[in-house]
Amino acid sequence: MDVLRNNNWLLTVGTFLPVLGVIVMVFIPKGKELLIKQVALLTATATLVIGAVTLALFKYGSAGKLQFVVDTSWIPVIHSNYTIGLDGVSLPLYILSMVVTVLVMIYSWDHIPAPGNPKAFLSLMLILQVGMAGTFIAQDLILFFVFFELVLLPMYFMIGVWGGEQRQYASLKFFLYTMFGSALMLVAFLALFWQVQKTNPDASFSIPYLIDHAGDLSRSTQIWIFAGMFIGFAVKVPMFPFHTWLPDAHTQAPTQGSVILAAILLKLGTYGFIRIAIPILPKAAVAWAPYIGALAVIGIIYGALGCLAQTDMKRLIAFSSVAHMGFVMLGIATLTPLGVNAAVFGMVAHGLITGMLFFVAGSVKDRYHTLEIKRLGGMLKQMPKLGWILGFCAMASLGLPGLAGFWGEFPAIVSAYSPFGGNSGLPGVSKEVFRVFMVIAAVGTVLAAGYLLWLFQRVAFGEPKDEFADHASDGHGAVHAVGAAVNETEIHGAGHGDIHDVKLTEWIAWSPFLIAIVVLGVYPNLLFKVIDPASQTILKAFGKG
């Protein structure tokens, strides 16, 4: 595989820069919270600047090739190298992870959740960023595994320490599920390596190498190896039977944790399918595709029905993630460039939209101290701006044309009409199955409109409920410190009980999300033209464009 190696320092610096920030923060006393926040934000911003440089130097004409490639020896004993690179599929996600981290840092400026300790909180966030960015650039299976696992502990602690009432249960569940999945994934990686090594003594864990050499493995071998990877990635996505950790983790996580979880962490799983499982094991991918597709549409419907049954706003948004990731997986399962393009677009769009919804949920929780839908109401009267932002995100999430969400769902559904590029030469799958999936997925979009509009209606319309009616502050966006009013349960947020509209830090943190949702919705080609060459390359084993 030909690759571009110029400016190859960029990815390494962009990935590991946050570590520098963590090291600096270690030496700052815990009491100097402002300095800690400044250093953390500065680090994240500097990382984003490197990301912007990457964006500028990326050769869009050859987005299908790996760029900024570094390939140096790392652990020769196990034939694993430090191989990194970026192509059109990983670029959007890599940049998204940096953007999300910066914006979450800005949001954290005055939203450090209880029990405080910004030093530990922000350090974990920076380490998380290393793991996320690293996963997207890794081009070696062992390196990928290390980064994939690196996000585990920080998120475990983020949920377990700064989360809600049942944080310990939720964090442990998250950890055990993911660890179980990644154990099987690692076994699959090792098995893959040995199978390839049987015929190629110089085999390595490099992903491009395995794409070139693992295709010859027999179909049954591929299917078994794929099974291991499938469970590892499917837990992370999460796909239907493996999703039960997600509602708990999302509901209990602090706002920042939920946003990062939704925006980036879930994508590690879908990205793994696109980057590793499908191109390396094409025969198995074809064999598995109908099952993945089936689980994906089950996820769409199940997630939607789950949403309709929820009484907690955050839990509802969490279930909607299951449904949305179902669309992404459906797109991937079609094994067409259109489907994979839709999947990657859907990943970015879901990251922006659901991330934003979790931000809104966090702010609602800050103000009302509850997310129980039946206690909320009349948000448009009390906080019109926040209310309309919620409405906007709900519209985007249900896939309204003109907003980003549409371009993830619609092409995914379309691609299911003719899976495998309309080429019926591929064995084992009948198109009819996918056409059934297509219809079911389309029903899913209707359900999505149902639960999201219903949520918006219940939360934002009508009159504020009595218990909150007299809490409104006299001016929108005004910040009042009502010191005495702070009781035990209200230490979340900036320490004032008043219900006020969107604050400055919230505006700064949110507007890039909102702008991106509109821009990508109006001009999706911005993203598609980057993704498309790469997904063509990834699917080249399937023999058509």
Partner 1 sequence: MLSTVLHFSGLAATGDFVRPRIDYHAMAPEMILAAGICVVLLVDLFVEESKRWLTATIAGLFLIGSLIPIVTLALIGDDTRSMFDGRYVVDQFSLIMKAMFLIIGYVVVLLSTNEIEEGGYHQGEYYVLLLASVLGMVMMTSSRDLVSVFVAFEFLSIPTYMLAAWRKRDSKSNEAGVKYFLLGVFASAIMLYGMSLLYGVSQSTKLTDISAYLSAHSTTGVVALSIVFIVVGFAFKVSAVPFHSWAPDTYQGAPTPVTAFLSVASKAGGFVALVSMVYLTFPSAKDVWQPFIFVLAALTMTIGNVLALKQTNIVRMLAYSSISQGGFILMPFVVAGTKAAETSLKTIVVYLLVYASTNLGVFAVVIAVARRTRSGEISSYGGMLTWAPGLTALMTFFLASLAGIPPFGGWFAKLNAFRAVLEAGTGFGYAIAIIGAVNTVVAFGYYGNLMREMWMKPSVDGDNSPVRTPPSLLAALGITGIATLVLGILPQLVLRFGDLNDLVHTGALGK
Compute the distance between CA of residue 137 and CA of residue 11 in angstroms, rounded to an integer.
7
Residue 209: helix, strand or coil by DSSP? helix
Pick the stretch among 61-69, 114-122, 223-231, 394-402 that binds partner 1 (CB under 8 A).
114-122
Contacts with partner 1: how many residues (CB under 8 A)?
Answer: 35
Instruction: Kindly give, in sequence order, each residue whose CB lies less than 8 Å from that of residue 474, ignoring residues fewer than 6 positions away.
Output: none
Pick the stretch among 183-191, 221-229, 267-275, 477-485 that binds partner 1 (CB under 8 A).
183-191
Question: Minimum CB separation from partner 1 for residue 472, in Å?
Answer: 35
| 183 lies in the site for partner 1, by CB under 8 A | yes
Pick the stretch among 175-183, 314-322, 458-466, 477-485 that binds partner 1 (CB under 8 A).
175-183
| 74 lies in the site for partner 1, by CB under 8 A | yes
CA 17 to chain CA centroid, nearest Å: 21
Question: Minimum CB separation from partner 1 for residue 406, in Å?
Answer: 38
| 443 lies in the site for partner 1, by CB under 8 A | no
Instruction: Kindly give, in sequence order, each residue whose CB lies less than 8 Å from that of residue 271, ignoring residues fewer than 6 positions away.
Output: 89, 90, 93, 135, 136, 347
Compute the distance between CA of residue 211 and CA of residue 482 in angstroms, rounded to an integer.
61
Instruction: Kindly give, in sequence order, each residue whose CB lies less than 8 Å from that of residue 139, ignoring residues fewer than 6 positions away.
Output: 66, 69, 71, 83, 84, 85, 206, 207, 208
CA 343 to chain CA centroid, nearest Å: 12
- Per the document, the length of the chain is 545
Compute the distance between CA of residue 362 and CA of residue 108 in angstroms, rounded to an integer.
11
Pick the stretch among 43-51, 159-167, 510-518, 526-534 that binds partner 1 (CB under 8 A).
159-167
| 201 lies in the site for partner 1, by CB under 8 A | no
Among 23, 42, 57, 78, indicate the residue that binds partner 1 (CB under 8 A): 78
| 491 lies in the site for partner 1, by CB under 8 A | no
| 40 lies in the site for partner 1, by CB under 8 A | no
| 388 lies in the site for partner 1, by CB under 8 A | no
Question: Minimum CB separation from partner 1 for residue 149, in Å?
Answer: 5
Q: Which is nearer to partner 1, 136 or 156 (CB)?
A: 156
Contact predicate 151/131, CB 8 Å = yes
Q: Is the peptide bond before 92 cis (omega within 30 degrees of 0)?
A: no
| 169 lies in the site for partner 1, by CB under 8 A | no
Q: Which secondary-structure segment (H or E) carries 75?
A: strand 67-75
| Unique residue bearing structure tokens 């600096």 | 24
| 31 lies in the site for partner 1, by CB under 8 A | no
Pick the stretch among 56-64, 145-153, 222-230, 481-489 that binds partner 1 (CB under 8 A).
145-153
Binding site for partner 1 (CB under 8 A): 26, 30, 73-78, 117, 119-120, 142, 145-146, 149-150, 152-153, 156-157, 160-161, 167-168, 171-172, 175-176, 179-180, 183, 186-187, 190, 194
